[in-house]
Amino acid sequence: MSTIVILTGAGISAESGIETFRAETGLWAQHRVEDVATPEGFAKDPKLVVDFYNGRRIQVAGAEPNAAHKALARLEAEHTGEVLVVTQNVDDLHERGGTRNLIHMHGALNSALCAGCDHRWPIAGDMQVGQQCPACSAPTARPDVVWFGEMPYEMDRIFDVLGRADFFAAIGTSGNVYPAAGFVAEATRAGADTVEINMAPTIVGSEFTSSIMGPATQTVPAWVDKILKSN
Ligand code: OAD
């Protein structure tokens, strides 16, 4: 029974209408990373940061999982071994598409985090600056999103599964951000077959055993069919 680890990035949600980060008109062309995705940016202008994630939360609420998200859920349901999806995305389209064994390594838009006591709780609508933590009552709520300079979530669990992976796929991620961009090297060390699935080759593309290029809504269902047939 084989173990499959799948890393996803913004490209898997692009065809659901959610913009990626590094496209010409993507999020990082519209906003400065230092302003909206660092602890220093939040300390300097919390309203700008809270408003940015409130806007993204509204956008995601109006989006639907696409054929690629659903294909990964089908893989998890039908594969005889373990399937773990590790996403860098803060949207909830994997969950809504049916994936259960999922790690949000960069956090989630539908969650708040207390900067004081680390309590996390679900949120649906807008967050406010200085919102109270329901556990410790301090006015220290922040978006539960991992910013640059912070440690991504569940790294021990991710590296544990990567260390015994038979297949590793990276879908719709540009390979610019570590530690996620280093997962292919870890999977390779574990002896896994690795595939990059993207619109175009990325800067870490040469580290993969093979590649599949095209829009995720087409390539991912086809790749899942192939894996399930070889089960
Ligand atoms: P990027 O915006 O860097 O890369 C998106 C990738 O998706 C690119 O390689 C595109 O070629 C590809 N792509 C676009 N549309 C696609 C489609 N329809 N089908 C398949 N591939 C497609 O986004 P990420 O790699 O996810 O972190 O970015 C990684 C991290 O950088 C994010 O989690 C975020 C960001 O800064 C933090 O904010 C901490």
Q: If the chain, 231 residues long, is cut into consecutive pieces of 10 residues, what is the mean pLDDT of each piece?
A: 97 97 93 96 97 97 98 98 98 98 98 98 96 97 97 98 98 97 98 98 97 98 97 81
Rounded distance, CA 162 to CA 169, Å?
Answer: 11
> What is the atom index within ligand 1 of the atom nearest the CA of 148?
39
Closest atom of ligand 1 to 175 CA is: 25
- Report, as residue numbers or ranges, the catalytic residues: 106
Q: Which of 88, 196, 202, 223 to mutate to test the pocket of ligand 1 (most atoms within 8 A of CB)?
A: 88
Identify the pLDDT of residue 231.
81
Question: What does the pLDDT read at residue 1?
Answer: 84
CB 183 within 8 A of CB 105: no
> 1 C-alpha to center of ligand 1: Å?
31
Q: What architecture is domain 1-17+65-106+152-231?
A: 3-Layer(aba) Sandwich (3.40)
DSSP state string for 156-199? HHHHHHHTT-SEEEEES--S-STTGGGHHHHHHHTT-EEEEEES
In the chain, what are the domain boundaries? 1-17+65-106+152-231, 19-62+112-145
**How far is Cα 163 from Cα 187, in angstroms, rounded to an integer?**
6
Closest CA to 166 of 196, 188, 138, 139: 188
- Give the atom of ligand 1 at the shortest distance from the alpha carbon of 147: 39
Using CB distances shorter than 6 Å, the residues near ligand 1 are: 9-11, 14-15, 20-22, 26, 37, 88, 106, 146, 148, 172-174, 176-177, 198-200, 202, 215-216
19-62+112-145: CATH, from 3.30.1600.10, 1.20.1280.50, 3.40.640.10, 3.10.50.30: 3.30.1600.10
Q: Decide: helix, strand or coil at residue 44.
A: helix
Count of other CB atoms within 10 angstroms of residue 229: 7
Residue that is written with structure tokens 């619109």 in the block: 199
What are the φ/ψ torsions at residue 137 (nearest 5 degrees)?
70, 5
Ligand 1: centre distance to CA 122 (Å): 25
Taking the model in full, what pTM does it have? 0.97
Pocket mutation for ligand 1, best pick of 6, 8, 21 (most atoms within 8 Å of C-beta): 21
